Amino acid sequence: MGLALLLPLAGCGTKTTADPLRAEVQQVLDRRAAALLAHDETAYGATGVRTQYTRLRALPLASWSYRITGLRRTSLGATADADLRYRVAGYDRAPVDAPRTLTLGRTADGRWYVTADRPGGRARQQLWDQGTVTAVRGARSLVLGTGRSPAALRRYARLADRAVPAVARAWGTDWSRRIVVLVPRSLSGMAALLGSPADGYRGIAAVTTGEAGGPGRAPADRVVINPEAYAVLRDVGRQVVLTHETTHVATRARTTAATPLWLSEGYADWIGYLGTGRAPAETAPELARAVRDGETPEALPADRDFGFTGEPGRLARAYEGGWLACRMIADRWGADRLGAFYRAVGAHGQRAGAVEDALRKVLGTTPRDFTARWREYVTARLGG
């Protein structure tokens, strides 16, 4: 009843007047977006600087649009805050949302034009903010880089194309089976794409991040490469890294707040190392050293143990411990049961009780028994 009374009053209230400046600037941004999608450099240039067009023309786009969220007049023209939403054709199921700040000038006859387009506020950089984007298409991958030759990017595409079917064989096919790999020029470029300090990623070869999404929608993941750490890896290590990150893309929809990092990272490593023939002590050298020193961990790794800014040995032992936990499940209960366990934990919805319930329902065990078995497994595989 209250709503029925309020609605007529809303219609009879004070009239709101449209902001003509906002409408004019929005029209400029709409024309700019349409020109980019149509690959019309002349029309794009008519809306302002062409730098972004040059940097973006290799990126296959399904959509690109701006929505103004704030507008301020300045002594030289205007500054607009806007939400940029775009989708990479063939890869993104949902638009990536990137806050931007645009500066605009005005011609003598009153026409607005864009003079700069940069990340808004504390927003992360996009790859084109770092230079002209080069794109290489693989059979199941799209590799985008700055400061990299097509030949260099094709090497990443070959690794990614091998990773996708490897992950599908272990996890299943209920995902896109396509990945986007970003290769910035440097570690600092990687950090800018992730919006974090570079020191936190110095020894990390790659990170997967979901860049878009919403209720009921799978995110648009990007595998972001640290070219400095990646360059020191051998061929097997490079493949393991790409397969590990591809696993995160595949499992994203089933990875929730209920999923502990030992499981999500351990499972990604388990798939990453499948078929490499590497012995446990070779794959888990830090944990093997701890076992030989009589320091077998008492409990599975906690989320805090996976912090990039912590002690490197602790981080390595966390990854290795998670990998061995998943390897133990696959060895004892089977690979299919490992996948079912992962899905059951993520489906719980909240962290409390998620692992306990999945251990009971899927593996028929308890946290105490599972941890004891894991400690025995770690000692048996690494204690030699």
Q: How confident is the model at residue 311 (pLDDT cuts 50, 70, 90)?
A: confident
Q: Look at residue 209 and tell me whether its pLDDT is greater than 60.
A: yes
Between helix 367-382 and helix 312-333 the angle, nearest 10°, is: 110
Instruction: Decide: residue 325, CB within 10 A, 0-12 exposed, 13-18 middle, 19+ buried.
Output: buried
Instruction: Answer with the residue of higher pLDDT: 237 or 214.
Output: 237
12-49 pLDDT, tens per residue? 443 445 689 999 999 999 999 999 999 999 999 999 99
Average pLDDT over all residues of the chain: 92
Q: What is the pLDDT of residue 4?
A: 36
82-105 pLDDT, tens per residue? 999 999 999 998 899 999 999 999
Q: How confident is the model at residue 220 (pLDDT cuts 50, 70, 90)?
A: low
Tell me how far apart the alpha carbons of residues 330 and 341 are, in angstroms, rounded to a whole number. 10
Confirm if 221 and 204 have CB atoms less than 8 A apart: no
- The average pLDDT across 189-215 equals 82
Instruction: Answer with the residue of higher pLDDT: 215 or 160.
Output: 160
Where helices occur in 294-334 by DSSP H, the ranges are 312-333
Q: How confident is the model at residue 194 (pLDDT cuts 50, 70, 90)?
A: very high
CA distances from residue 179 to 91, 142, 239, 309 in whole angstroms, order as listed: 7, 6, 14, 27
- The average pLDDT across 107-117 equals 95
51-81 pLDDT, tens per residue? 999 999 999 999 999 999 999 999 999 999 9
Q: Look at residue 309 and tell me whether its pLDDT is greater than 80.
A: no
Q: How confident is the model at residue 11 (pLDDT cuts 50, 70, 90)?
A: very low
Q: What is the pLDDT of residue 16?
A: 42
Instruction: Provide the CATH topology of domain 124-251.
Output: Zincin-like (3.30.2010)
* Joined tokens for residue 239: 């493949």
User: Domain map of the chain by residue range?
Assistant: 20-123, 124-251, 255-384
The radius of gyration computed from the CA coordinates of the chain, to the nearest angstrom, equals: 25
Q: What is the pLDDT of residue 296?
A: 94
Identity at 150, one-letter amino acid code: P
Q: Look at residue 10 and tell me whether its pLDDT is greater than 80.
A: no
Residues 228, 233, 234, 235: is their CA dihedral positive or negative? negative
Q: What is the pLDDT of residue 308?
A: 74
Q: Look at residue 312 and tell me whether its pLDDT is greater than 80.
A: no
- The average pLDDT across 351-360 equals 97
Instruction: Provide the CATH topology of domain 20-123.
Output: Nuclear Transport Factor 2; Chain: A, (3.10.450)
* Joined tokens for residue 155: 């090497």
Residue 235 Cα to chain centre, angstroms: 23
Q: What percent of the chain has pLDDT over 70?
A: 92
What is the pTM (predicted TM-score) of this model?
Answer: 0.91
